[in-house]
Amino acid sequence: MDAFLRDVRFALRLVLKTPTLSLATIATLALGIGLNAGVFTIMSGMLFRPRVTVDPASFVRLQPVYSGNAPRHESPQFSTADYLALRDRTTTLGPLAAWAVVHARLGPEAADALTLLVSCDFFAAYGLDGMARGRAFRADECAAPAAPVAMISDELWRRRFGGDAGILGRPLLLNGQPFVVVGVTPPAFAGRIRGEGIWVPYTNQPALMRGVSFSDDPSRAWLWVEGRLKPGVSREAAQAEVNVLMRQQDVLAPKRSTATALTNGAFIHEPQVAKYAVLIVPLVLGSVGLVLLIACGNVTLLFLSRAVARQREIAVRLAIGCGRGRLLRMLLTESVLFAALGVPLSAWIAWQAPGLMRAMFPQMPFYPMEPDLAVFGYLTAMTATAGLAAGLTPALESLRQRLAPMLGGHDAGFGQRARSRNLLVTAQIGMSVVLLAGTALLLRVEYALGGPDESVDAAHVLIANYDPPRAAAPGRSNAGEGRPSFDEVAARLEALPGVRSVAYARGASGEFGGEGLPLSIRGSQAVVRRVAVNVVSPSYFDTLHRRIVEGRALRADDSHATVRRLVISEALAHAWWPGGGAPGAILESADRAYEVVGVMRGDLGLAGGSFDPMQAYEMAGDDPSSGLLLLRFDGDARPLQAAVRDALRDLGPASASLPTTLAAANAAMAATFRPLVDMVGTLGATAIGLALVGLYGVVSFAVARRTREIGVRMALGATRADIVRLILSSGVRPILTGLAGGLVLVVPGAVALSRVFERTPVPVRAGDPLPYACVAAALASAALITMMGPALRAARTAPAQSLRSE
């Protein structure tokens, strides 16, 4: 310990002796470590911590795993009957809450908003002690018949309602249904787990889902169930009781067998999240890890340069009997101390990261992202690792050299150090390529979303909500109820000035969304693929200018065919029939068959762009339910928007919202995607900045060491252009090697990134060569420009001055 303390005191004297170099070293390491700790703080809060702030140790989520006659849902959720049985019979849990998510159109302008259907125990389970305004739901409001009441979050109250003190008692329109606001939750309420915070009693589910009651179907699992352990009850005891209760429920569901696990409620335990977390977590932590490695590389270059000035000191220590192991410990103590001195700045960056994340994504739900002991443990580990990584190579280089040349003041290890520096530059350039390529891929997606699509001419396509009254009962006519048919609505819109065609689509991302509908080829061993199926009218393809490249488009009589007919995307056709021949094939799902009648050129739902995900299109019936109307028009959109809204006003509140152009919808989607691009771009810019600083330092140091050689060359007749070429050529090899290595390393990362986004409306094309080419060209140009400064400075030095240089 005494020797360690002497090493620390000596390292502190070294810091004070070279304040500029020390400050640069500390700041570089603190930036890299702080970015890593900040991202770890966010990832830990979003994925690995219980989403509650009050007593997280007692919080549990119930996750059933079904076998046999399983409920019709892939997520670990419960039916209404199962939830009520657990709530009423459990002796180890309380309170026990249930919730589900519904996409609701909020307000008269029908903006999409995630709404939580919750039981009355939900707020107690999430640790709500009191309301900011009003009250929570009463027990009778969560029973049938449903009470049309709602609670909103403080964030939504301030953003949307301007903090209006008279919000209580006012109606809130959800899917055109009025819900009376009875309470406002406090800021940062942990129960804001989806969207900005709207809660209604779960018994209102039929009113928000077009009259279909999930509670009447005992086989439909649609409720997430969470709660609290009672005092003194272990998680294992509660899980054992829940499994006994679920086995009793299985008796009422023939051939069903249920095993239930109790988790701490962290997102990482959700099956759909865990499947992508194995890709997302390494991608995110790997990205900031590359920034830290580049920062460590820069510090290593600084230490290598300083090792030249300290070689006589190291030689004297060795000559008087100091062991090389003892010196290695001293040098590593110095590098770790530099990293430790940056801990306050690193901790500040980690503390600010959650706030920055919330500012970039203001509508994100609540996550407990404040730094905890795990974050500070991670920060400590990263500090020690970065200090050792940055100082190990210079320390070994200092001890590897011969003693006599070092005592004489000659740099006996110049060649070895030059190779080490070039290797570090190669690694930094390669890691920068990986980060910049990821940024370029996301920028490519953003451009495809928000950029013009000449084939569609999105500026002349209007999107309007189509929300007709509920369908008539079987055997009754819609006309008798005064409900216009879709054909009547389309005819009314086509009569408006400038409207050329009207089409219908169930949605922008496929009817089944999420995982899509599993399809396979009848009579074939081909792989089952999940396909997003959209329901459209025959005019859909002409309205969006979508080209049929094989077969034909859908026709009106396809809705009456005995076998459902599909038009599929080119990507799906090429996946199953690379040589063509998709029309006429029969596809099968679990309970029905589909005939392929055509293949459509690339589409991205209604988001425009040039991507071609695996999609299919089915013919809508004569009287389609709520969805979207697409209007192709000529001229100015502004007067037509109001006319379309007025024409649809009779259908319902959602249909009375102001339509928007497809171009504006694309721009809005790109805007929501932009913060992610900005975040990755910031990492890429930081990486390239650090790499270029390191490259500049290496070239400058090499020029300083070769000053006498440059003077000799110029005395023998070398021109300034020759000197510039000499200096540049010495740095070209590590740059080119780094570019080649980075382009190889980026392939698995790009494939993983494409897997993460493959089920979203913004798929990433890992095989697109343009982003990689742009990154390589930009990075090579920046590196050459960085080297020009030292090269020109060397060329301007007078030969006599160079020859007198020591």
pLDDT at 410 over 60: no
Q: Which of 535, 492, 491, 484 is nearest to 652 (CA)?
A: 484
Task: Based on DSSP, count helices (H) and strands (E) in the chain, helices before strands.
Answer: 23, 21
> What are the tens digits of pLDDT across the range 125-164?
999 988 999 999 998 998 877 889 999 999 999 988 889 8
Q: Would the pTM of this model clear 0.75, i.e. be above it?
A: no
What does DSSP assign to residue 48? I
Distance CA 349, CA 356 (A): 10
pLDDT band at 519 (very low <50, low <70, confident <90, very high): confident
pLDDT of 213 reads: 83
Q: Picking from 8-22, 470-484, 777-791, which range would have the lowest pLDDT averaged per residue?
A: 470-484
> What are the tens digits of pLDDT across the range 452-501?
555 677 788 888 878 776 544 344 334 445 567 788 888 889 999 999 99
Answer yes or no: are the C-beta atoms of 703 and 793 closer than 8 Å: yes
Backbone dihedral angles phi then psi of residue 497, each to the nearest 5 degrees: -60, 130
Across 678-707, average pLDDT: 73
Percent residues over pLDDT 90 in the chain = 21
pLDDT of 185 reads: 95
pLDDT at 782 over 80: yes
Token digits of residue 613: 């995900």
Across 724-751, average pLDDT: 83
β pairing state of 564-569 and 529-536: unpaired
Distance CA 519, CA 513 (A): 14
pLDDT at 409 over 80: no
Distance CA 431, CA 297 (A): 11
Distance CA 710, CA 707 (A): 5
pLDDT of 525 reads: 64
pLDDT band at 609 (very low <50, low <70, confident <90, very high): very low
What does DSSP assign to residue 659? P
β pairing state of 564-569 and 593-600: parallel
More confident residue, 556 or 407: 556
Burial class from Cβ neighbours inside 10 Å (0-12, 13-18, 19+) for residue 516 reads buried
pLDDT band at 345 (very low <50, low <70, confident <90, very high): very high
Alpha carbon 349 to chain centroid, angstroms: 21
CA distance to 391, 441, 641, per residue, from 315 (Å): 18, 51, 82
Distance CA 360, CA 211 (A): 37
SS3 of the chain: helix, strand, coil, percent, to 5: 55, 15, 30
Establish how many alpha carbons lie within 13 A of residue 302's alpha carbon, considering only the half-sphere containing its beta carbon.
24
Answer yes or no: are the C-beta atoms of 369 and 354 closer than 8 Å: yes
pLDDT band at 260 (very low <50, low <70, confident <90, very high): very high
pLDDT band at 113 (very low <50, low <70, confident <90, very high): confident
Across 76-103, average pLDDT: 91
Percent residues over pLDDT 70 in the chain = 83
Its sign, for the CA torsion 64, 68, 73, 75, is: positive
What does DSSP assign to residue 223? B
192's CB contacts (< 8 A; 6+ apart) are: 153, 155, 185, 365, 366
> What are the tens digits of pLDDT across the range 537-553?
889 888 888 888 899 99
Q: What value does the mean pLDDT of the chain take?
A: 80
CA distance to 311, 687, 691, per residue, from 303 (Å): 12, 19, 16
Answer yes or no: are the C-beta atoms of 292 and 105 closer than 8 Å: no
Domain boundaries defined on the chain: 1-49+299-412, 57-265, 413-451+670-806, 468-652
pLDDT of 228 reads: 95
Answer yes or no: are the C-beta atoms of 205 and 145 closer than 8 Å: no
Answer yes or no: are the C-beta atoms of 10 and 335 closer than 8 Å: no
pLDDT of 75 reads: 63
Across 623-642, average pLDDT: 85
Q: Picking from 114-128, 603-617, 676-690, 695-709, which range would have the lowest pLDDT averaged per residue?
A: 603-617
Establish how many alpha carbons lie within 13 A of residue 438's alpha carbon, considering only the half-sphere containing its beta carbon.
33
